[in-house]
A and B are shown apart, each in its own frame.
Chain A
Amino acid sequence: MNLDELYQEVILDHYKRPRGAGLREPYEGESHQVNPTCGDEITLRVHVDGGTIGDVSYENVGCSISKASASVMYELVNGATVDDALARLSEFTELMNSKGQSEGDEETLEDAVAFAGVSKYPMRVKCALLGWMAFKDALVRAEASIPGRTDA
């Protein structure tokens, strides 16, 4: 068991200094996700501005993997177009499901490739995906609310 592979410097750094943490206004979609086996939780908000992600804000409790993953996700999707953000989401999900067989594309996933090692630990994959699941859900809610918006 190689701990360094799991707890890469990048991951520990995001864990200790999470980017974009805290809940902010405005937002159109909010999601609360729990990992029922360990009790980790995240509340995440998405603000969509035209076709781009205007802000992702979140509050979470959890292990280093789930907290670092949310922080890395913030950097990847904040300011990206909705289409690009969704592409990162499926790319990251695929990496997490790769059972250690994929290294991830650093061009597109940037710091998130550090999580490639996590995919070998089935008990931790859920931790890494918790924030992304919240993002996906909040985005669906945000997009559903947009046509009815009057302040846009």
Chain B
Amino acid sequence: MEAVTKLDVDAVRADFPILKRMIGDRQLAYLDSAATSQKPVQVVEAMRRFTEHSNANISRSVHTLGAEATEAYEGARARIAAFIGAPSADEVVFTKNSTEAINLLAYAFQNGSLDPSADPRFRLGPGDEIVVTEMEHHANLVPWQQLAQRTGATLKWIGITDAGRLDVDSIPEVITERCKIISFVHVANLLGTVNPTSQITARAREVGALVGLDASQSVPHLPVDVTELGVDFIAFTGHKMLGPTGIGVLWAKADLLEAMPPFLTGGSMIKTVTMEGTTFAAAPAKFEAGTPPIAEAVGLAAAVDYLDQLGMENVRAHEKELAGYMLERLETVDGLTVVGPRVPIGRSATVSFTLEGVHPHDVGQVLDAEAVAVRVGHHCAKPTCVRFGVTATTRASAYVYNTHEEIDRLVAALGQVRKVFG
């Protein structure tokens, strides 16, 4: 079965020293990449080389290091633009993470709503509607809730079916002529659902709404091409795609970036400043106030190089294989219920579940004693938990370096949980 995937997992694992880590007397089985991925030596090395050799602030100094740092940072932007199929590097805005990228977008609407001369696409008020889904990470829910509260717009959402899929039948009803922005998750971090985008983008075109995609869990795991997706914005975060923490991306179409009011203001984002007022630089600089995460951008570019070398189609195939195996093996555990799609179609290798009579915290603790690292809790998706009538789940998530054997260890460790809690 493994022959169908073209990933040489042993070779991949050799690039991740942390996977050799012992927890107690057992080797780590890291099944928590949906929370954050591990980083290969290539990423750490690229950041170290930059820091030791070329570190300087960007776009400010004429000295050699300043020029090298600027080139490294802008080179990283171009690298990431190519990775997601963006027509221009200027459409890539670096942020701190996905959360900041989504806030940048939500604040463009908020600031636009306060400015009568702003582009009407970014002006919201009572009667306007914002649409999300019931399966959002809090990062793609709370900023929109706040925006709705502050502008008087109405927040609506597309529900979830019992099978853990978006209720696409309700799309025409939820997304109306009043809708100005739809922001939804591409791959859900609790359920593992991969959402189809075409029905939503088609409906958005019909009603003239903009579309944002929270791609935090898709860009790391699937080939993502922004022109093929036909959306207006995507957000993703470096640390979930083999890159460092402290860097994320907002991609947006050039004409939208031009129309959007800035979020954070200050140095590096201006054209001219007087005591009376300021004019802003063109995008992406307009959205990158202050000294950006420079070494982190270099690290993210190295992560993207690494993923490209593996081939995103191969990454997807490897994870599809692991998702199928994980679902099949978990179904054999007594009292275990998968929360989310139960078939490896249209889903990621992130599987949430409950174990009858045992709280996820206790599951996670026993698994840790077996050196199996999973996440437990509400996974920053409380409304999804409520939808499925649970307060928390245990979630195992796989990535390029995970093996069938690690999934076997997860299943064996779940047997251990039963022993402790009877």
- Say whether A152 faces chain B, with CB atoms less than 8 Å apart: no
Q: Is the CB of A64 within 8 A of B362?
A: yes
CA distance A65 to B376 in the complex (A): 15
Q: Is A40 an interface residue (CB 8 A)?
A: yes
Cα A39 to Cα B365 with chains together (Å): 16
The answer to whether B365 touches A37 (Cβ under 8 A) is no
Contact between A1 and B369, CB atoms less than 8 A apart: yes
Kindly identify, within residues 22 to 56 of chain A, every residue whose CB is under 8 Å from any CB belonging to chain B.
37-41
Q: A1-B369, A3-B369 are in contact. Are A61 and B421 (CB under 8 A)?
A: no
Query: Smallest distance from the beta carbon of A76 to chain B beta carbons, Å?
Result: 23
Q: Are B378 and A1 in contact (CB under 8 A)?
A: no
Contact partner of B359 among A7, A63, A121, CB < 8 A? Answer: A63
B365 in complex: contacting residue of A40, A41, A124, CB < 8 Å: A124
With contacts A38-B377, A38-B378, A39-B385 taken as known, whether A1 is within 8 angstroms of B362 at the C-beta atoms is no
- As a 0/1 sequence over residues 204 to 215 of chain B, the CB contacts with chain A under 8 angstroms (1 = contact) are 000000000000
Kindly state whether residue B382 has any CB partner on chain A within 8 Å: yes
Q: Are A39 and B392 in contact (CB under 8 A)?
A: yes
A146 on the B face (CB < 8 A) = no
Once the chains are docked, how many angstroms separate the CA of A6 from the CA of B366? 10
Which one, B23, B24, B361, B391, contacts A124 given CB within 8 A? B361
Q: Bound state CA distance, A36 and B62, in angstroms?
A: 48
B362 surroundings in chain A (CB, below 8 A): 7, 63-65
Indicate if the CB atoms of A3 and B365 lie closer than 8 Å.
yes
Q: Which residue of B lies closest to A38 (CB)?
A: B377
B3: Cβ under 8 A from any A Cβ = no
A12 at the interface (CB under 8 A from B): yes
Bitwise interface map of A from 5 to 21 toward B, beta carbon under 8 Å scored 1, else 0: 01100001000000000
**B368 located at the interface, meaning its Cβ lies under 8 Å from any Cβ of chain A in the complex:** yes
Tell me, in angstroms, the Cα distance from A139 to B194 when the chains sit together.
Answer: 48
**Residues in A neighbouring B24, C-beta threshold 8 A:** 1
Nearest B residue to A6, CB-CB? B365
What residues on A are CB-neighbors of B4 within 8 Å? none
The reply to whether A64 and B391 contact each other, CB–CB distance below 8 Å, is no
Instruction: Assess whether A79 is interfacial by the CB under 8 Å rule.
Output: no
Contact B361 A62 (CB under 8 A): yes
Residues A64 and B376 in contact in the complex (CB < 8 Å), given A39-B385, A40-B391: no
- Give which listed residue, A1, A3, A38, A41, contacts B361 with CB less than 8 A: A38
Cβ of B420 under 8 Å from chain A: yes
Q: Which B354-385 residues have C-beta < 8 A from chain A?
A: 359-362, 365-366, 368-369, 376-378, 382, 385
Q: How close is B295's CB to chain A, nearest CB, in angstroms?
A: 29
State the CA gap A6–B369 with chains docked (Å): 11
Interface of A is mostly: mixed
Please tell me if the beta carbons of A3 and B366 are within 8 angstroms of each other in the complex: yes
B: number of interface residues (CB 8 Å): 19
How many contacting A-B pairs (Cβ < 8 A)? 49
Residue A77 at the chain B interface, CB threshold 8 Å = no
Q: Answer yes or no: A125 CB below 8 A from chain B CBs.
A: no
Chain B CB within 8 A of A116 CB: no
Candidate in A1, A6, A40, A64 with the most chain B CB atoms within 10 angstroms: A1
1/0 contact string of A119-136 vs chain B (CB within 8 Å): 001001001000000000
User: What's the least CB distance linking A100 to chain B, in Å?
Assistant: 16
A90-110 with Cβ < 8 A to chain B: none
A64 and B421 in contact, given A1-B23, A39-B391, A41-B391 (Cβ under 8 angstroms): yes
CB-based nearest B residue for A7 = B420
Chain B residues whose C-beta falls within 8 Å of the C-beta of A62 in the assembled complex: 359, 361
Q: How far is the CA of A37 from the CA of B421 in the complex (A)?
A: 23
Residues of B with C-beta under 8 A to A3: 365-366, 369, 420
**Complex CA distance for A66 and B368, rounded to whole angstroms:** 18
Residues of B near A38 (CB, < 8 A) are: 360-361, 376-378, 392
Interfacial residues of chain B within 234-264, with CB under 8 A of chain A in the complex? none
Central interface residue in A3, A6, A62, A65, by most chain B CB within 10 Å: A3
Within 8 A of A (CB), among B319-366: 359-362, 365-366
**A39: B residues at CB distance < 8 A:** 377-378, 382, 385, 391-392
CA of A7 to CA of B360 in the docked complex: distance in angstroms?
Answer: 15
- Taking CB atoms, residues of chain B closer than 8 Å to A37 are 377
In whole Å, how far is A8's beta carbon from the nearest beta carbon of chain B?
11
- Chain A nearest CB from B337 CB (Å) reads 17
Encode B99-137 as 1/0 by CB contact (under 8 A) with A: 000000000000000000000000000000000000000
Chain B residues close to A by CB (< 8 Å): 23-24, 359-362, 365-366, 368-369, 376-378, 382, 385, 391-392, 420-421
Q: A37-B377, A40-B392 are in contact. List 16 more A-B contacts (CB 8 A).
A: A1-B23, A3-B366, A3-B369, A3-B420, A6-B365, A7-B362, A38-B392, A39-B382, A39-B385, A39-B391, A39-B392, A40-B391, A62-B361, A63-B359, A63-B361, A65-B362
Closest 4 CB pairs of A and B: A63-B361, A63-B359, A1-B369, A38-B377
Name 12 A/B residue pairs within 8 A (Cβ), A-sorted.
Answer: A2-B369, A6-B365, A38-B360, A38-B392, A39-B378, A39-B392, A40-B392, A41-B391, A61-B391, A62-B359, A66-B361, A127-B361
